[in-house]
């Protein structure tokens, strides 16, 4: 039952703004289709008869009938004979500082969004006020606009009084049906929760909460599933490219479309199309009737200007309402039948009841993959080293890794699908038991990454805008690849679901390293308390002292060689892990019983390094005189687990030479 006391209270407290007053005349059999009310509105028929649909619910209207619909209501009219009516558009809102009780009452009752249609007992007074409003509205002076507002209040007062006396029941619009209809009509466009809430005259929070109560999912989730459903149809029934399909369902960004598609369907769009085409090789007559919807039909919209005066237009620019002549009686019968079926599917709006989704709406819900408890357990929330919170698979299968620690994955029995091959070139012997992943290039080629269909992308370092680009394809996790192996491997293992394997690998590594140093001590190759220093040499003759990472980490283990206090006191400039060394200061910085030299095994580096070996400064180094210099290929200086294992095997051989 309508509580007229509540309605009167809200009308009395609301700030009212008349947005437009129009008079429209339609010829016999003329149609108005797809007009969405830009604000709350009264429709008052002057003469003639027509069928009028409010959100798909049909009303048979003759002279002196009044209809009301809220902002966002979908209006269709079909004139049975010449039909004339007034359209009075208005906006109502409570003052911002009104009592909380009124705000709650507005959410519960919202008289400005109600839908109703009836024939008043005393229509002439209402007709006179509508005519006066139209006459005054045609003047631009502020005084006449004030008079329109006064007349509007009188119109509403008389209308509500007659509704009360006649026992007219108003019904709340089916919010879920309104949203679903809007999304079906506009899924190709950019849509946000805020824009839908504004269109339907609700707060975003209320719209989202009520829609989820009625459908079990959020409006945006419903939109995504609807778009993916449409995309699946296009992929199977057209020859459109992935970019064309993406754009036609509202995703101009192909990377983001592919990520959404995979999330909801379980496979990339290209793979889906191929698999479905294989299935469709068996002739199915039912598929012959499917038509492509990739070409946008003409959509009707309204302009929302700063003063909130709204005008309908077609894509060609024609203002006011879009009309078209009825082509045939058969077309009308089919159209009416479709609309009546839609109305039945949308549910009865009487008594504020909620609706049952139409068959087309149900198919959307049923075809979209539901988030079952079992499915929910396949992902988890993860916070990376940059503070980004992202949902990642519990056990990712297709990993793209940007960085130089691929050996961490291989040591744990995981084969990435994409890597930067710069970091594995020339290491065929090191990775001979593995099948290197495809090359993602440098800078990272994200089209290539997209083609690999990853379920997670791991970034050991980041370049400008890379996180944004990668996030359009798959969940992205950022980590610091420069962390020491013992700190980094548990992080990697946690990401890929290999915690136990990582713990076991580290325990085995420590045991083997300890055994190696004990063997070297027993053989007399090193002595207890001896020191070591690490120099890295580049082809351009630049030299750096290394205190950590790769080879240094293994040398300076608890059971290994020590770092001289003079070397320990040296510190790099800035964030660099390296300390610059020149020929002039070699004797002051390269202090240690053993000198380990890292240099690239290429011709340029070898040529310049040979020049250094011939200098008196080099020959005078204590380690050179004592034959305690060891040359190590820089390929063995990576900090990943697999390289560390290889270095563990090679180091005793180097020292024994």
- Higher model confidence: residue 84 or residue 104? 84
Find residue 301's DSSP bridge partners.
313
pLDDT at residue 508 is higher than 80: yes
Asked if domains 4-166 and 517-656 share a fold, the reply is no
Residue-level pLDDT at 371: 44
**Residues with Cβ < 8 Å from 508, sequence gap 6 or more?**
none
Residue 61 · residue 45 · CB < 8 Å: yes
pTM for the model stands at 0.46
Domain 4-166 maps to which CATH number in 3.40.50.300, 2.60.120.280, 3.40.605.10, 3.90.1580.10?
2.60.120.280
CA distance linking residue 77 with residue 321, whole number of Å: 11
- Higher model confidence: residue 105 or residue 219? 219
**Residues with Cβ < 8 Å from 199, sequence gap 6 or more?**
36, 71, 72, 182
Residue 44 · residue 126 · CB < 8 Å: yes
| Phi then psi dihedrals of residue 33, to 5 deg | -125, 140
CA distance linking residue 154 with residue 156, whole number of Å: 5
- Higher model confidence: residue 463 or residue 656? 656
Which stretches within 268-386 are classed as H helix? 269-279, 329-346, 359-367, 373-376
Quote the tokens at residue 349: 């709006």
**Residues with Cβ < 8 Å from 129, sequence gap 6 or more?**
151, 154, 155, 158
Residue 115 burial by Cβ neighbours in a 10 Å radius (0-12, 13-18, 19+): buried
- The third-level CATH classification (topology) of the domain covering 517-656 is Rossmann fold (3.40.50)
Task: Name the residue ranges covered by the structural domains of the chain.
Answer: 4-166, 175-309+356-364, 378-497, 517-656
The helix/strand/coil state of 290 is coil
CA distance linking residue 536 with residue 551, whole number of Å: 10
Residue-level pLDDT at 148: 92
Residue 123 · residue 73 · CB < 8 Å: no
Reported as a pLDDT band with limits 50, 70 and 90, residue 162 is confident
pLDDT at residue 296 is higher than 50: no
Average pLDDT, the chain: 78
Q: Where are the beta strands (DSSP E) in 373-427?
A: 379-383, 389-393, 399-402, 418-419
List the one residue out of 267, 248, 247 whose CA is nearest residue 259: 267
Cis amide leading into 101 (omega within 30)? no
Task: Say whether domain 378-497 belongs to CATH 3.40.50.300.
Answer: no
**Residues with Cβ < 8 Å from 344, sequence gap 6 or more?**
358
The CATH homologous superfamily of the domain defined by 175-309+356-364: Homeodomain-like (1.10.10.60)
- Could you give the percent of the chain with pLDDT greater than 90? 15
pLDDT at residue 375 is higher than 50: no
CA distance linking residue 182 with residue 196, whole number of Å: 9
Where residue 395 falls (left for φ over 0; alpha for ψ -120 to 50; beta otherwise) is beta
Quote the tokens at residue 197: 């809430």
Lowest-pLDDT range, 117-131, 149-163, 357-371, 523-537? Answer: 357-371
Q: Considering only CA atoms, give the Rg of the chain.
A: 37
**Residues with Cβ < 8 Å from 203, sequence gap 6 or more?**
107, 197
Residue-level pLDDT at 573: 63
Query: What is the per-residue pLDDT across 609-633, written as a single tens digit (0 to 9) for each?
Result: 788 888 888 888 899 989 999 988 8
H or E stretch at 527 = none
Residue-level pLDDT at 98: 65
pLDDT at residue 356 is higher than 80: no
């Amino acid at each position: 039952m309508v509580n007229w006391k509540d309605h009167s209270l809200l009308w009395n407290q609301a700030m009212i703004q008349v947005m437009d007053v129009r008079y429209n005349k339609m010829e016999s059999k003329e149609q108005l289709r797809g007009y969405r009310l830009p604000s709350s509105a009264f429709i008052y028929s002057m003469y003639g008869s027509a069928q009028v649909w409010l959100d798909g619910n049909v009303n048979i209207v003759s002279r002196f009938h009044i209809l009301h619909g809220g902002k966002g209501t979908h209006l269709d009219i079909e004139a049975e004979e010449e039909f004339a009516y007034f359209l009075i558009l208005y906006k109502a809102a409570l003052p911002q500082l009104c009592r909380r009780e009124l705000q709650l009452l507005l959410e519960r009752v919202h008289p400005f969004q109600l839908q109703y249609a009836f024939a008043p007992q005393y229509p002439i007074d209402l007709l006179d006020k509508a005519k006066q409003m139209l006459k005054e509205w045609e003047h631009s002076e502020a005084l006449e606009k004030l008079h329109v507002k006064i007349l509007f209040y009188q119109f509403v007062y008389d209308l509500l009084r007659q509704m009360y006396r006649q026992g007219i029941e108003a019904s709340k619009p089916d919010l879920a049906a309104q949203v679903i209809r809007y999304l079906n009509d506009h899924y190709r466009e950019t849509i946000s929760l805020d824009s839908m809430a504004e269109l339907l005259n609700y707060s975003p929070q209320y719209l989202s909460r009520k829609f989820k109560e009625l459908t079990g999912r959020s409006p945006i989730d419903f939109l995504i599933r609807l778009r993916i459903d449409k995309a699946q149809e296009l992929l199977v029934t057209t020859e459109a490219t992935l970019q064309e399909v993406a754009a036609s369902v509202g995703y101009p960004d192909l990377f983001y479309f592919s990520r959404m598609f995979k999330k909801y369907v379980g496979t990339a769009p290209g793979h889906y199309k191929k698999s479905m085409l294989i299935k469709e090789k068996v002739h199915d007559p039912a598929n012959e009737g499917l038509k492509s919807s990739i070409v946008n039909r003409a959509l009707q919209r309204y302009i929302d200007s700063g003063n909130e005066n709204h005008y309908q237009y077609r894509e060609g620019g024609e203002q006011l309402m879009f009309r078209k002549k009825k082509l045939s009686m058969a077309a009308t019968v089919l159209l009416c039948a479709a609309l009546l079926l839609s109305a039945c599917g949308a549910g009865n709006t009487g008594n504020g009841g909620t609706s049952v989704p139409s068959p087309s709406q149900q198919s959307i819900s049923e075809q979209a993959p539901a988030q079952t408890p079992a499915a929910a357990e396949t992902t988890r929330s993860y916070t990376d080293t940059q503070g980004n919170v992202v949902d990642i698979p519990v056990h990712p299968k297709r990993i793209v890794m940007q960085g130089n620690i691929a050996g961490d994955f291989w040591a744990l029995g995981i084969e990435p699908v994409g890597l930067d091959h710069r970091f594995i070139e020339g290491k065929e012997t090191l990775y001979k038991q593995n099948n290197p992943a495809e090359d993602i290039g440098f800078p990272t080629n994200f089209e290539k990454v997209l083609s690999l269909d990853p379920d997670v992308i791991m970034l050991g370092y980041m370049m400008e805008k890379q996180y944004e680009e990668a996030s359009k394809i798959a969940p992205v996790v950022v980590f610091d690849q420069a962390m020491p192996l013992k700190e980094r491997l548990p992080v990697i293992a946690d990401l890929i679901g290999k915690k136990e394997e990582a713990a076991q690998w580290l325990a085995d590594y420590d045991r083997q390293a300890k055994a190696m140093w004990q063997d070297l001590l027993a053989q007399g190759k090193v002595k207890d308390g001896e020191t070591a220093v690490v120099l890295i040499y580049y082809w351009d003759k630049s030299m750096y002292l290394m205190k950590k990472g790769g080879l240094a980490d293994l040398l300076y283990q608890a059971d290994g060689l020590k770092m001289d206090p003079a070397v320990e006191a040296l510190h790099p400039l800035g964030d660099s892990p390296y300390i610059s060394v020149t020929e002039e200061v070699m004797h002051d910085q390269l202090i240690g019983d053993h000198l380990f030299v890292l240099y690239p095994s290429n011709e340029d580096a070898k040529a310049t390094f040979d020049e250094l070996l011939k200098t008196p400064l080099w020959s005078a180094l204590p380690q050179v005189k004592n034959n305690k210099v060891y040359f190590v290929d820089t390929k063995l200086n990576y900090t990943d687990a697999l390289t560390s294992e290889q270095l563990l095997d090679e180091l005793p051989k180097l020292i024994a030479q």
